[in-house]
Amino acid sequence: MRRKTKLIHGGIAGDAHTGAVSVPIYQVSTYKQEAVGVHKGYEYSRTGNPTRHALEELIKDVEEGYAGFAFSSGMAAITAVMMLFNSGDHVILTDDVYGGTYRVMTKVLNRLGIESTFVDTSDISQIEKHIKQNTKAIHIETPTNPLLKITDLQAVSALAKQYGLLTIVDNTFSTPYWQTPLALGADIVVHSATKYLGGHSDVVAGLVVVNSEQLATDLHFIQNSTGGILGPQDSWLLMRGIKTLGIRMEEHEKNTRKIVEFLTNHPAVTRVYYPGLPSHPNHDVAKKQMRGFGGMVSFDVGSAEKAEQVLTRVRYFTLAESLGAVESLISLPAKMTHASIPKERRDELGITDGLIRISVGLEDADDLIEDLAQALA
């Protein structure tokens, strides 16, 4: 099955009992047992629910893994994955990782004894330098948020295998339509399905796909024990979103290419960050591991004042956190998504006060360009 077909025919198609083409929303908490322990595969909906199961089978197929798991948010998914580790274990993460991931590692999981180090994973030698006796995993985001840095997934997975570490990839920005990390050697993929997978700014959800039976058993145990599961309504909404992921990603990409060209030629823009640009420092790696470069672009306008002018003048770009939806969104990472990262650290990373991030939606590209042009004038 090719990718677009798999998005529609992967997982469990429809309902075997009625022939319904769409998987029904099984709004139910418990299931009748014929005798003690004799049931049809479901006992209690925290442990398993047919609608959630259909979504978990779908994301497993789309990410080319062994098993899928649905959680109540991307952060619940990432936290559950980190629960695979023990007190005293160490994890290496990408330095401009999602703000919430940075926060859970440094303010919550550190209290439980899980240690973390943030390094520029786009430079493999930096990762190897920070591997310690107690290191258990490398958590990669590629492209990163908001600087769109690229890490070589094949090289990291090979390095991780050499040291017996797990490779975890947050695939939120690329989506499995453009990038399939498990096929490149990673062990675990995590998603904020709130973004492109849902695609319509109407559901908060997280997904995990693992590549082995052992990881599947361990993660199901954690999912059932800690309970941060996705409900049946949201599972259904997410399946509905995933069906159109292919066609949406193709259009996001087309619009983004036009906007990147406009921004690169604009005198008020000092720098454009996009992995599809030949001038991007890791463009070659991006080309090797991604089938498309996505709909996220960041650009620097030089100062906080100028950035705030753009943000208040745009009409079609909604000023909001989040990304990956049909409507274009605009944000100021330093004051919004990355505000929880200390200022000195942000400056170190290049997340300046004049850095604007856009998530290019599915409006007409000419309207979006006209809008940016008047806001930048």
Ligand X SMILES: *Cc1c(COP(=O)(O)O)cnc(C)c1O
**Residues 171/190, Cβ–Cβ less than 8 Å:** yes
Six-digit token string for 296:
């996220």
In this structure, is the dihedral angle defined by the CA atoms of residues 94, 95, 98 and 103, taken in order, positive or negative? Answer: positive
**d(Cα 252, Cα 60) in Å, to the nearest integer?**
24
Q: Footprint of ligand X on residues 101-120 (CB under 6 A)?
A: 101
Residue 202 bears catalytic tag:
no
Indicate whether 151 belongs to the interface with ligand X (CB under 6 A): no
Indicate whether 149 belongs to the interface with ligand X (CB under 6 A): no
Six-digit token string for 16:
């075997």
What is the smallest separation between the CB atom of 106 and ligand X, expressed in angstroms? Answer: 15
**d(Cα 292, Cα 354) in Å, to the nearest integer?**
27
Residue 52 bears catalytic tag:
no
Residue 46 bears catalytic tag:
yes
Q: What element of type H or E holds 55?
A: helix 50-62
Among 220, 206, 212, 213, residue whose Cα is nearest residue 185: 212
The residue annotated as part of the active site, out of 3, 4, 46, 287, is: 46
Buried b (16+ CB within 10 A) or exposed e, 285-302: bbeebbebbbbbbbbbbe
The residue annotated as part of the active site, out of 52, 60, 149, 195, is: 195
- If binding means CB under 6 A, how many residues of this protein chain bind ligand X? 15
With CB under 6 A as the contact rule, the residue among 170, 234, 251, 253 that binds ligand X is 170
Six-digit token string for 161:
């295998």
With CB under 6 A as the contact rule, the residue among 194, 235, 256, 289 that binds ligand X is 194
With CB under 6 A as the contact rule, the residue among 121, 192, 223, 256 that binds ligand X is 192
With CB under 6 A as the contact rule, the residue among 74, 181, 199, 294 that binds ligand X is 74
Q: Strand 296-300 to strand 271-273: parallel, antiparallel, or no bridges (unpaired)? A: antiparallel
Six-digit token string for 76:
């619940």
Among 120, 188, 179, residue whose Cα is nearest residue 160: 188
**Stretch of 192-200, 207-215, 241-249, 309-317 lying at the interface with ligand X (CB under 6 A):** 192-200
With CB under 6 A as the contact rule, the residue among 67, 186, 204, 310 that binds ligand X is 204
Indicate whether 73 belongs to the interface with ligand X (CB under 6 A): yes
**Stretch of 157-165, 188-196, 289-297, 306-314 lying at the interface with ligand X (CB under 6 A):** 188-196
Indicate whether 75 belongs to the interface with ligand X (CB under 6 A): yes
**Residues 205/194, Cβ–Cβ less than 8 Å:** yes
Residue 218 bears catalytic tag:
no
Catalytic residues: 46, 98, 170, 195
Site residues (vs ligand X, CB under 6 A): 73-75, 98, 100-101, 141, 145, 170, 172, 192, 194-195, 204, 206
